[in-house]
Structure 1
Amino acid sequence: MTRIIAGHFQLQDQTEAARQAFLDAGYPAEQISSFYLNQPGQHATHELGGDRDKSPGAKDSPEGLAKGAATGGAIGAALGAATVPLTGPVGPVVGGLVGAHVGSLYSFSHMKERGEPEKGGENQVEPRKPGMMIAVALPDGDETRAVQLLRDLGANHIERAEGSIVNGDWTDFNPLSLPDLVH
């Protein structure tokens, strides 16, 4: 594995210009990789489609739904029991079911917002944005020149990684990994 420096561009023309700039700077063509990065959730890395078997941030959802349904069910059953003279023995059952449904819907208002940390967690680095990427392997490990070249070309989200670029293909690139941004 070697050190890799990568940058994000919006347009394919920008990526082609960056490829030519790397070639002009003496980087070998087989150590330069350019590719389009799909939007999060569209990498088809999971056998059922998408990127993951569970959505990020959804781990607390079952607990919230259960609490909402239990609370709503108890309140609904109590209200239904109070209406037994009017509704008969069906009142508490219907009240409990309606209350559980309303309680589970109410729990949606307590779900985390996008970018909000998990319970007990902290916000992490933002995932990669979709668009064109160009990456160059640095056999000598000196990233200063490559980073400056990407900055001069207007690259966004310049990152470093360890990996392998073979014949122009970043073979071990993981689109789901969080980038190590160069500041």
Structure 2
Amino acid sequence: MRVDARKNYDCLLAVASEVFADQGADASLRDIARKAGVGLGTLYRHFPTREALLETVLRASFEALAERAKVLERSDSADEALLAWMQETTEFTYSQRGIIALMMDAIEDTDSELHASCVMLRAAGTALLTRAQAEGKARDDLNGAELFDLIAALAWLREQPSHASRADRLFDIVAGAVLKDRGDV
């Protein structure tokens, strides 16, 4: 990549990260290009779709969550590892305003730019769930896709102002439903 093209690419990513964090995943691409000091055509040359831009912005975070799951897999407590990862992933998903619906669509759409990253994330959670199930610490009738759905639902609740105040309690209730012997919430 030419030096000037690389500079534009890096600037677009930095600005997009900031704008998406501030305005959510449906932020104006035109505004991102303008704030990066490039034309909309330059943005589209680097990132042909909104999903392509989001995937590049989010990839490092998705990879970090997947790596975190691998670290947690080696911990002593399978149930606490699963719970910690659920909590961290819920917080991350919530913090990236507006990506929940995109992630839920992308996991089912093999043509989506976000598909591979979402599948990687789901696989990471599935590994933790499978370990907890093998040790008898998580319910056997739950699968990784359902765990992914539960995390998305919990993150979505946090986004809703009228439900946000109940989000921690609802997380505890869901965690109690996923994990065995967690006791009453």
Select the structure with the greater relative contact order (CA < 8 A; seq sep ≥ 6).
Answer: 1
Q: Establish whether TM, by shorter chain, passes 0.5.
A: no
Q: Which has the higher strand share?
A: 1
| TM-score, length basis structure 2 | 0.18
Query: Under a length normalisation based on structure 1, what TM-score does the superposition of the two structures give?
Result: 0.18
More helix by share: 2
